[in-house]
Amino acid sequence: MASATTAPPPPGNLKRIVAASLIGTTIEWYDFFLYGSAAALVFNKLFFPDSDPLVGTLLSFLTYAVGFAARPIGALVFGHYGDRLGRKKLLVLSLLLMGGATFAIGLLPTHATIGSAAPVLLTVLRLVQGFALGGEWGGAVLLVSEHGDARRRGFWASWPQTGAPAGQLLATGVLSLLTAVLSDSAFGSWGWRIPFLLSGVLVIVGLWIRLSVDESPVFKQALAHAEARKSAHAADADAGAEKLPLVSVMRHHWRDVLVAMGARMAENISYYVITAFILVYATTSAGVSKQTALNAVLIASAVHFAVIPGWGALSDRIGRRPVYLLGAAGVGLWMFPFFSLIDTGGFGNLLLAVTVGLVLHGAMYAPQAAFFSEMFATRMRYSGASIGAQFASVAAGAPAPLIATALLDAYGNSTPIALYVISAAVLTLIAVGVAKETRHRDLADVERSAGAEPKAARAADAHTV
């Protein structure tokens, strides 16, 4: 069996795997974030025109949140079949579903054309987006984690994570360009459709690259092991349990699922407050123009993209937990300065607020891929990582812009919003604080379950923690 010190794969092959995961996640997040930005900027007028502007924004963010509700379902379905059939096949399917739904949004009639059916169709397509993204994340990070050099797993696995800021960068960049060259009436009439229709081209590129990579060798080894055991022990109850990875996850890794969910709270909530809600807050409360707010998120997303691999590499040196804890504490402490800087109305202060927030967020997001991958045994890893990550998103990222907008409407200031994010940071500090360090664990250990990890890993973790 491979060990944690197994020689790394050929650099060219690993880079191709990383590129395939990164491009795929970039496209998927582009599609997902594009909806969030459009929800903040135009969907309230196009699909909920009869409502008060802020109420329309709330309704628009409600359809945005619906996508998160579908993510756990995607995690269950994709995780189950990803653990049975492999990572690659499911990643191709998730890309097709996400791209198709996004392209369809670009063709969708508005409320002015078909009335109340427009927001209903918008919600259905948002559900498809959420379902696809729920299955995308786990497969993308596992494909890299299970191919990569164990000694630099945090660094390599952090690259698919850069797909989030890359997708945010791409979505915000396209919207920023369109709002700069088009009048408000032209953008609201037809210009908003362009970035959604561009998704069709991006999906073709992503599929071409994703179809060219090999299945995870760790998964192939685990599948062969399971088949051999099933043949040798046809009546073995554990062999039958292989058919239901979800059951195995909840039986052996329920603590790890809870840790992953807690770890996601500050990371998920802070991200959507900083990148989605900020477009509402800056334009309505701080008097900042739509273009200025988009430009700040655009530049900050570029910095976010650049720092994530650095945080991932640091987690290889000092451990996943210390880096994650630093990010959670930093985000919590930054919230009051964050809103104070935005309230000045200056672009420089707005840029500083968003950039520092995203850099601190990166300290959580970068080690997350390796951290979650290392928590679960191979034959239930796709299910475990996906369930932990996506079930948390329902309580965290899904309602975050909605709750923040409602708090702003109710109290008229940023204090309760800052306290909301700080509370999430406290939950994450507790969850990660009680977790075990994982950076020395062997991903090829297909038999490990909670409480039965290799002695070498326990000894190494004792020194790390």
- Distances in Å between the alpha carbon of 2 and those of 8, 10, 115, 187, 444? 11, 16, 59, 55, 6
pLDDT(242) > 60 = no
Q: Answer with the residue of higher pLDDT: 313 or 449.
A: 313
pLDDT(1) > 70 = no
Residue 368 is predicted with a pLDDT of 95
Q: What percent of the chain has pLDDT over 90?
A: 29
Residue 222 is predicted with a pLDDT of 63
Over residues 194-207, the mean pLDDT reads 85
- pTM for the full predicted model: 0.80
Of the listed ranges 61-75, 185-199, 437-451, the least confidently predicted one is 437-451
Of 343-347, 423-427, 451-455, give the range with the top mean pLDDT. 423-427
pLDDT(99) > 80 = yes
- Distances in Å between the alpha carbon of 57 and those of 239, 314, 325? 51, 39, 33
Residue 244 is predicted with a pLDDT of 66
What are the tens digits of pLDDT across the range 13-49?
A: 777 788 878 887 888 788 777 887 787 777 878 887 7
Over residues 54-70, the mean pLDDT reads 74
Residue 240 is predicted with a pLDDT of 43
Task: For residue 3, name the pLDDT band (cuts at 50, 70, 90).
Answer: very low
Tokens 């009869």 belong to residue: 50
| C-alpha–C-alpha distance, residues 193 and 290, integer Å | 18
Residue 362 burial (CB count, 10 A): 30
Task: For residue 459, name the pLDDT band (cuts at 50, 70, 90).
Answer: very low
Over residues 211-238, the mean pLDDT reads 63
